[in-house]
């Protein structure tokens, strides 16, 4: 679980990043989960753009994504979610 100070730090790092994974009309497919997992292994901090019909669908999709990939939600702005998963083998980000 991330502390507020750590979330603030990760938000500043994520500000300039572009979304690396896009979730379309088909929702959370196995291919999307594999791509997000690979991106998290490489970068630790990623943005995901989600095309959802309403707020409830968006929130449930983010929750499913976090549970299945074992990630922390850093922030959600509109249809973009920022996710973090610490890589123990090759850490790229040092949390305060």
Q: What is the CATH number for 24? A: 3.30.110.60
Of 15, 14, 61, 78, nearest in space to 40 by CA: 14
What domain range is 14 assigned to?
4-84
Q: Give the chain's domain count.
A: 1
CA distance 81 to 8: 15
pTM of the model: 0.92
Query: pLDDT of 14-56, one tens digit each?
Result: 999 999 999 998 989 999 999 999 999 999 999 999 998 899 9
| Domain presence at residue 89 | no
Torsion on CA atoms 73, 75, 80, 84, rounded to nearest 10: -40
């Amino acid at each position: 679980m991330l502390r507020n100070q750590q979330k603030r730090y990760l938000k500043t790092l994520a500000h300039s990043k572009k979304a690396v994974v896009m979730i379309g009309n088909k929702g959370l497919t196995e291919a999307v989960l594999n791509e997000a997992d690979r991106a998290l292994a490489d970068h630790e901090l990623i943005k995901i753009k989600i095309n959802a019909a309403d707020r409830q669908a968006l929130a449930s999709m983010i929750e499913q994504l976090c549970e299945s990939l074992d990630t922390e939600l850093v922030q959600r702005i509109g249809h973009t979610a920022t996710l973090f998963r610490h890589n123990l083998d090759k850490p790229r980000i040092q949390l305060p």
